[in-house]
A and B are shown apart, each in its own frame.
Chain A
C-alpha cells in the first residue's frame, strides 16, 4: 500500500505544480505545458490506483489512461494550433488584450 500512497502523493504534487504554472505563467506555450503536466499527473494517479490491491492489477484504470492520453494529445494539438494562430494574428505569445476592443 505504501507504494500506492507514494505515487499518489507524487501525482498530487505534480498536479499542484501544473496548476500553479497554469495560473502564474502568461506565455501560452508554458500554459499548455502546465496542462500537460496536470494530465500526466492524473495518469500517474490512475496507474497507482490500478495497483491498489496487492494480489492483482485492476485493468480498468489502464484503459482510462489510454483514452486519457488520446484526449490529452488531441487537446494539446488544438491548443498549439490556436497558440500559433494567435501569434500570427497579433504577434503575441500571451492572451493580454492590446488591440481590437469595442465592437465585437
Chain B
C-alpha cells in the first residue's frame, strides 16, 4: 500500500459487492418465509460477478480505491482493494456459495425428516414397547463386549431426539437467509474497508449476524453459546474501540493510509495498539483468548459452524495483517511479531492436544481450529523483519495467508460432513462412528481429504503454506518456528487420525442396523463438501496465481 500507485476506480463494483447482499438481506427479511433462498441465490450471482470484476481490475491494474459517494479519504470513507483483499473476497464468495447450496438442502432435509418422524410416531412407540417387553439379551452380550456402543433402544432414542431437537431450527430456518446475507455483506465490507472506525461498525454488524445465526437452533445450549459469544465479542470490540479512541486522540485520523504515514511510536500509541491487538485477538481466538470458541462452534448448526470457522475468524485475522504490516511503527514490529508467534506456537500445541482428547467430532474440529489459528500467526515473527526486507518475509507472508485460505475451504467441508453425520446418526460421538466407513463413504472421504489439508499433506494448500513457512523459518535462521510447525503436523496427524480409527474398525452387527429416518440425505449434501475439500486439496497445485495476486500491493513489493 505504501509506494504503489493506487488507481481510483470510477466504477462502483466495490460498493456493489457490499450493497447487493445487504439489499437482498433486507428484501428476504421483508419477503417472508419462502423468498430467502431466492434472494440469496440472486445475491450470490451478484457478488460473484462484482468480486470477479474487482479481481480482474486489481490483477490487471494494481491496487484500486473507490471513494464512496464521491467523498475522498480524510472526510469520506474510502474502499480499497489489493491482492490480499481480493483473495479474501474470492475465498468468501467461493466458500459462501458452497455453504449456501449446502444450507438449502440442509434445512429442506431437516424439515423433511421432521415431517416423516411425525408420521412414524405411533408405530415407533409400539416397537419400543415391544423391545422393552422382551429382555434384550443379545444387546446385553454385545454391550458387555463393547460397552461404549449403546444398545438398540438407546440408539433409537438418540436418533429420534436428534431429529426432534431440530424442530426449532426448522421453524427458524427462514431467518438463516437474511442473516447470512448480512454476514456476507459485512465480510465483503470488512475486506474492502480502509478505515479503522468503519471496521468497528462492520465488526459489530458481523457479530450481531453471527450471534443470531448461532441462536437459530433455538435450544438452550445454542442460546447459551450465542449469548456467551455475544458477550465476549462485544467486550472485544469495546476494547478495540478504546484503542481507537486513544489512537485518534494521539494521531487525529483513523484512515489506514494516513495512519501508516503519521503514526509515531510513543507511549500513548503503544497502549492504543496493544488494546486494538488484544481486541482483535479475542475475536480471532488466538491462544489465551480461545476460551469461547469450542462451545460456540460445536453448538451451532452445521452450515453456521462452517460459515463462522471459515470466514468470520479470517476477518479479524485480515485486520491484524493490515494493521501489523502497514500501520504499526516498524521499530516495534519485531517484538510484536515474536510475541504473536509465541502465542501462535502455544496455540498449536495446546489446541492440537485438546483436539486429540475430544470424544465428539464437532468438538474435535472446533479445537483443531485453535491449533490452525496458531499456524496463521507464525507469519508474524517470520515476516516481521521488514527493515532490511529479506526475501523470506514475502515467503512467510504468502505461506501464512495461503494457510488461512486453504483452512477456510477445508474446515467448512469438515463441518458440513460432520453435520451430515449428525443428521443421520443423531450423535457425533467418535465411538459411535465405529464401522460406518462403508455406509457413508463420501462423507468420510470428505473428512479425509479435508483432514489432509488441515494436516498439511501434499498436494494440499495446507502443505504449500506449511512449506513456505518452513522455508522462511529455515532461511531466516529462526529454526524454532520450524520445529513448532513439524510438531504441529504430527499432532494434527494424531487428532485427524483419531476420527478414522473407529471408522474402519470391524463393523458391529448392531451399528449396521442403525435405524435412521426414511428420508435419505440429498446427493448434493454429500457432494458439495467433497468438492470443497477437493478444492482445498488441489489448491497447492494451482496456487501460483493466488500467490502472484498476493504480491499486488503487499507491504513487501515496493522494496
Docked complex: A51-104 residues within 8 A CB-CB of B: 52, 58, 60-61, 64, 67-68, 71, 74-75, 78-79, 82-83, 85-86, 89-90, 95, 97, 99-100, 103-104
A78-B208, A79-B227, A103-B162 known; A15+B220 contact, CB < 8 A: no
Main secondary structure of the interface of B (DSSP, over half): helix
B158 contacts the other chain (CB 8 A):
yes
Expressed in whole angstroms, the Cα–Cα distance for A100 and B219 within the complex equals: 9
Expressed in whole angstroms, the Cα–Cα distance for A99 and B544 within the complex equals: 50
CB-CB under 8 A from B298, the residues of chain A are 104
Contact assessment for A68 and B241 in the assembled complex, using a CB-CB cutoff below 8 Å: yes
Expressed in whole angstroms, the Cα–Cα distance for A45 and B249 within the complex equals: 10
Which residue in chain A gives the minimum CB-CB distance to B220? A89
Which residue in chain A gives the minimum CB-CB distance to B363? A104
What is the size, in residues, of chain A's interface with B at 8 Å between Cβ atoms?
A: 36
B67 contacts the other chain (CB 8 A):
no
B362 contacts the other chain (CB 8 A):
yes
CB-CB under 8 A from A15, the residues of chain B are 238, 242
Among B208, B227, B241, B428, point to the contact of A86 (Cβ < 8 A). B227
Which residue in chain A gives the minimum CB-CB distance to B75? A60
Expressed in whole angstroms, the Cα–Cα distance for A74 and B237 within the complex equals: 14
Docked complex: B405-462 residues within 8 A CB-CB of A: 422, 426-429
Distance between B219 CB and nearest chain A CB, rounded to angstroms: 7
Contact assessment for A75 and B208 in the assembled complex, using a CB-CB cutoff below 8 Å: yes
Among A39, A78, A86, point to the contact of B238 (Cβ < 8 A). A39
30 contacts between A and B (CB under 8 A): A22-B231, A39-B238, A42-B242, A45-B242, A46-B245, A58-B252, A60-B248, A61-B245, A67-B201, A71-B200, A75-B204, A75-B208, A75-B230, A79-B227, A79-B230, A82-B211, A82-B215, A83-B227, A85-B215, A89-B219, A89-B223, A90-B220, A90-B224, A95-B227, A95-B228, A100-B221, A103-B426, A103-B427, A104-B298, A104-B363
Q: List residues of chain A with CB under 8 Å of any chain B CB.
A: 15, 19, 22, 28, 31, 35, 38-39, 42, 45-46, 49, 52, 58, 60-61, 64, 67-68, 71, 74-75, 78-79, 82-83, 85-86, 89-90, 95, 97, 99-100, 103-104
